[in-house]
Structure 1
Amino acid sequence: MATAIDHLDWDDLKLFLVVVRCKSVTGAARTLKVSHSTVSRRLARLEYTVGSALVERTKDGLLLTPAGLVTMRRAEEIENGVNALRSDVGNRDEVRGTVRLATMEGIATLYLTERLIELRYRYPELEIELVTSPQTVRVARREADLFLSFFKPSGTSLDSQMIGRFRTGLFASKTYLERNGVPSNVADLSHHLFVGYIEELVQLESVLWLDELVAAPKIVFSSNSMMSQMFAASAGAGIVALPEFARSPNLGLVPVLEELIGEREIWMSAHHDLAHLPRVRAVKQFVKELLRRDEQRLLRKASWVE
């Protein structure tokens, strides 16, 4: 005897995945260019077909129920199978579609954004979604197709590769140094003021570069935004620790104690099921090329990864 799930509609599953990724019915409706009521009606139809509620509505958006999590995973398996079939029967080298690349605000805004435009000229059918996040992006949960991080994410379903490095250092405005003097050694730093992160709000320890460089710095301005720290230091608030990709000279910041440096790895991660897709491979390879091309500025020594 046929059951409701025997009449499952793949289009409803695709809509459900959009709802999950947008975390709201309104966002899904906007993405799909349909009405809010259409999304709600089709989501309800899928829940009836599955026989269980799939999402819970909270003030932070929609959350998956246990049944919703299972349904999402099965829907993604179908989606990946369809994508693989499309690649098998089509041009395997064709780069088209959307790739969502997630990373931290600083490297996204100050380094990647203007360079990713070059991808548009190289692959006219490729669309990039650049997502900034102050925390780990769960590629395994399809919050992004690629995650660029300063550490190796954990997860057995991830394809992760260390694709480069960058160094960090101390910077200050000329105004601050004229007012407070230029430190000539590490010991002098105990007499200076600093700009840094609000530690209890930091979700990724890899961005605590000031703590790595200076013991017990006297913080006079703190923010969970690296951009805010840069502007505060530029205005003369104190010395700030920044990565080389920050292009701090553009804000009038100059290096302080250039021999005092830190170093971070750059990792690119994708879900195993997506790593083989031409569009995902193209973006990953492009970012690796960027790091190779700019390695002298990011590290001032050869450290790219083949």
Structure 2
Amino acid sequence: MDGRTGGLMLDWDDLRYFMALADSGSLAAAARKLGVEHATVARRVAALEDRLGTALVDRRTRRTQLTEAGRKVASRTRAMEDEAFAIERDLLGNGPEAAIELAVSAPPQLAVLVARRLVAFQSVQPTLRLTLLGQTRNVSLQRREADIALRLFRPQDDGLIIRKVGTLCYRLYGSSAYLSAHRQSDRDFIGFDEGLDDLPQQVWLKAQMGDKPMVLRSNDLGVQAEAAAAGIGLAVLPAFAAKAHQLKAADPKAPVFMRDIWLTFHRDLQKNAAVKATAAFLATCMPQETG
């Protein structure tokens, strides 16, 4: 770095935009994460580089690559972020009597189940305000992208409190009319798009399909359920989703696929009253399906 760095005052927002770029790997992905235009990310990163007097990003490659200076700045900034988020967790809910805001991340189909019961929760917890995020991606609880998460796999982070709160039972389902009109060998299948081919239920579906192609792909389970209800084919669904769309099991005696539901939050929050109350409520929303 040159002499221009002496006595400089960095803009934390510029660092935040830079970290989004460093973590996401592209301007477009960073912009989506921050909810801004990609030109805004580029402008804020360029402003940071100008203030530091050195390049942080190698723009000669198609995918964003950090320079050596960029990697150093990212490492230092990540440590700063971790401390800032730790302070936020320590002070969560410790202010004056006012609404406490918590962000809950969950797969979209589980977020719907929570939303259906929010009125009852708010009646007994009037000072708690939830931001309910229906997301397929796994958010960072360390960096407070959410305060509590519901996940369909068991997290491995030692810094998290983790407990099982439910179970989903997946079967192949179709509409009554579709099942009556199509023999087993003539039935079509609905599944996730190719970007989600590694999902456990998608892997299980492919094993049931054999060599047959999918007649429809969608990244949304609700869309798949609607398509099955419309008579397009069979979809792999948890029991609660099939019941909501009045679907029937293609073969009630066939093997099923089970997935556990895990609730998790940062270990720093295990004694926080608001988090404990919200976690207890979320657990009551989750289904306990059996084979």
> TM-score, normalized by length of structure 1?
0.66
Tell me: CA distance 1:52–1:171, structure 2 relative to 1, closer, same or farther (3 Å).
Answer: same
Q: Is the 8 Å Cα contact of residues 192 and 238 (structure 1) preserved in structure 2? A: no
Q: Give the corresponding residue for 2:258.
A: 263
Q: Give the corresponding residue for 1:33.
A: none
Tell me: CA distance 1:82–1:288, structure 2 relative to 1, closer, same or farther (3 Å).
Answer: same
The runs of 5 or more residues in structure 1 that have no matched partner are: 31-35, 182-188, 301-306
Q: Give the corresponding residue for 1:96.
A: 100
State the Cα distance separating 1:215 from its structure 2 match: 5.7
Q: Give the corresponding residue for 1:112.
A: 114
The one-character-per-residue Cα deviations of 1:65-110 (angstroms, maximum 9, x if unpaired) are 424532442333332343355359657x9871232x223233334x
Equivalent position amino acid for 1:176 in 2: Y
Range with greater deviation from structure 2 (152-161 or 256-265)? 152-161
Q: Give the corresponding residue for 2:215.
A: 221
**Partners of 2:114 and 2:59 in 1: how far apart?**
35
The runs of 5 or more residues in structure 2 that have no matched partner are: 21-28
User: Percent of pairs identical after alignment?
Assistant: 20
**Partners of 2:18 and 2:122 in 1: how far apart?**
27
Q: Give the corresponding residue for 1:184.
A: none
Q: Give the corresponding residue for 1:237.
A: 232
Show the 5 A alignment for 1:12-27.
12-13=11-12, 16-17=15-16, 23-24=30-31, 27=34
Show the 5 A alignment for 1:3-18.
12-13=11-12, 16-17=15-16
Q: Is the 8 Å Cα contact of residues 170 and 242 (structure 1) preserved in structure 2? A: yes
The one-character-per-residue Cα deviations of 1:174-205 (angstroms, maximum 9, x if unpaired) are 22122125xxxxxxx4x141323256321652
Tell me: CA distance 1:281–1:55, structure 2 relative to 1, closer, same or farther (3 Å).
Answer: farther
Equivalent position amino acid for 2:290 in 1: L
RMSD: 4.4
Q: Is the 8 Å Cα contact of residues 82 and 143 (structure 2) preserved in structure 1? A: no
Range with greater deviation from structure 2 (282-291 or 114-123)? 114-123
**Partners of 1:126 and 1:139 in 2: how far apart?**
18
> Secondary structure of the residue that 1:229 maps to in structure 2?
helix
Q: Give the corresponding residue for 1:75.
A: 80
Show the 5 A alignment for 1:8-157.
12-13=11-12, 16-17=15-16, 23-24=30-31, 27=34, 44=47, 48=51, 65-86=70-91, 90=95, 96-99=100-103, 101-109=104-112, 111-121=113-123, 122-133=125-136, 135-157=137-159
**Do residues 299 (structure 1) and 286 (structure 2) align?**
no
> Secondary structure of the residue that 2:146 maps to in structure 1?
coil
For these two proteins, the number of residue pairs brought into alignment is 271
